Structure 1
Amino acid sequence: MKKVHVKKGTVLQRKGDLSSKVYLVESGLLRSYTIDGKGKEHIYMFGPENWIVADNCQLNEPCQLFIDAIENSIINITTKEELLKSSPDLKALAKRLRVMQNRIIMLMSSNAKERYEHFITTYPNVTQRVPLKMIASYLGITPEALSRVRHQLSQKNG
């Protein structure tokens, strides 16, 4: 790990970057966030002392999050690849965290239609196996709202 002093306002990572670093906060405060298509900022998490802040994107996949310092900070930086080499068991955890990150960002910044379309893409075989009430719960909407979304999509695709 490389120890670095960063000033408040320093952007450590931009959405779309292809290489994701892992930041261990020794002192100070980081945040990770995304900006949706309408320009609205959605904070994913804060990283105070002894927290790890990282985007869980895969190698050579665009990152989804901005990461910046909101206080003067001392951080230790490594790459995700180095971290995974040190513990192969972390690969399964990293995959799980990536799925959770995608879900949280989607819930914060997508409308019901976009969430449902993402659900269908992520779980193509689950739609027929669970009640619509469960899908609505997963999407954070009412069953009635899900019915409206499904109707809109059927009109568009039909």
Structure 2
Amino acid sequence: MSRSQNKTVPTDQSVEDFLNSVQSERRAEEARALDELFRAATGFDPVMWGPSMIGYGRYHYRYASGREGDFLATGFSPRKSSLVIYIMPGYADFGGILARLGKHKLGKSCLYVNKLADIDVQVLSELIRAGLTDLGRIWPVEPR
């Protein structure tokens, strides 16, 4: 079966230009802080995925159904209502880390944070690394 046509794909958009376009000054500062945190935690340079997701690393997946594709290994999006943090493929084994993180909400493979001051960024760094390790057990993670 051929690769899926994901709606969210890497682009040539500049991460710096995107960060400069974030409207709220507080959200822009938080996005820059997250960029530094993700770079340090992953060792990867960021790439824009779609118009608003900043990704660090990528992985190729292939499901038993035959569906396959590429997606960001981890990353974030500074949305107006919250910071969305992507830890792939999910949070099944991270309860101990999440309990120490601070105020957040969970989605299937994402974490919603109203503001960085609500969480412990060192714990977030630990979560990012744990997520990459977990993902790497399923699908190899590549820098770009």
TM-score range, shorter chain: under 0.3
Structure (1 or 2) with the larger CA radius of gyration: 1
Normalising by structure 1, we get a TM-score of 0.23
Normalising by structure 2, we get a TM-score of 0.25
